Amino acid sequence: MKILIADDHAVVRQGYASLLSTVFAPCEVFEAVNGDQAFSLSQELEPDVVIMDVNMQGISGIEAARRILQRCPNSKVLFFSMYDEIPVVTQALEAGAKGYITKTCTPEILIEAVNKVAAGQLYVEHELAMRLAVSRPEQKDKRLKEMTQREFEIFVMLAQGLSVKEISEQLSISAKTVSNYTAILKSKLNISSTAELVHLAIETGLVKVGAQITDA
């Protein structure tokens, strides 16, 4: 796997480059000092994952992400920033990022986020995801606030069209456990089918129109 870290603080870059190169070995980790260099290196290296800060000298990380994904659509962008404001998170995801975590998270969260994003899954730090889900008037559904982190994760994966088998494999839990969570979700959300679950996810902005709908 190729990972590109774009951050204008050398200590941050080098520290996380060391961590990731060890955890994901064999792995190549490259560094960029700003958004412009990240864009240039992405065209040259075509990294699997770009870990991007939001605020850097020159173009912002969000603009850099847009440019990178236009030229390198197979790359996955994970934002890793001090900013935890929902408008910033929204802009980052709308730019095409697959994930957003804050620099206050634990190394374990960073590693999990890289794993998920590299696999093409959406990963937003739990607290941010919950705030994001209820931030806009049309998303103020109290039922979403009642979910545990695992329930919310499975809710999103089901809404994205993943099957019980696929979810069990990706989360390393049994299919029966996923089915149990699905039943709990349907009860909490007062819905009777996965199709209704997808519709709720679309209404709350968690999934874009066009998600695969499979009844269950």
The tens digit of pLDDT for each residue in 80-105 reads: 998 888 878 888 888 899 999 999 99
**Cα–Cα distance, 43 to 74 (Å, whole number):** 11
Q: Which residue has the higher pLDDT, 8 or 204?
A: 8
- If asked whether residues 120 and 147 sit together in one domain, one would say no
pTM to 2 decimals? 0.67
Same domain, 94 and 145: no
* Segment 153-165, tens digit of pLDDT: 788 778 777 788 9
Chain centroid offset of residue 79 CA: 8
Q: Is residue 142 domain-shared with residue 120, that is, in the same domain?
A: no
In a domain, 117, yes or no: yes
What average pLDDT does range 123-136 have in this prediction?
Answer: 78
Domain boundary, last residue among 92, 125, 158: 125
pLDDT in the model for residue 188: 85
C-alpha–C-alpha distance, residues 63 and 58, integer Å:
10
* Cβ 36 vs Cβ 42: under 8 Å: no
Q: The domain that contains 199 carries what CATH number? A: 1.10.10.10
Domain of residue 142, residue span: 137-203
Q: Is residue 74 part of a domain?
A: yes
Tell me what the pLDDT averaged over the chain comes to: 84
* 30/35 Cα distance (integer angstroms): 14
Answer yes or no: are the C-beta atoms of 53 and 8 closer than 8 Å: yes
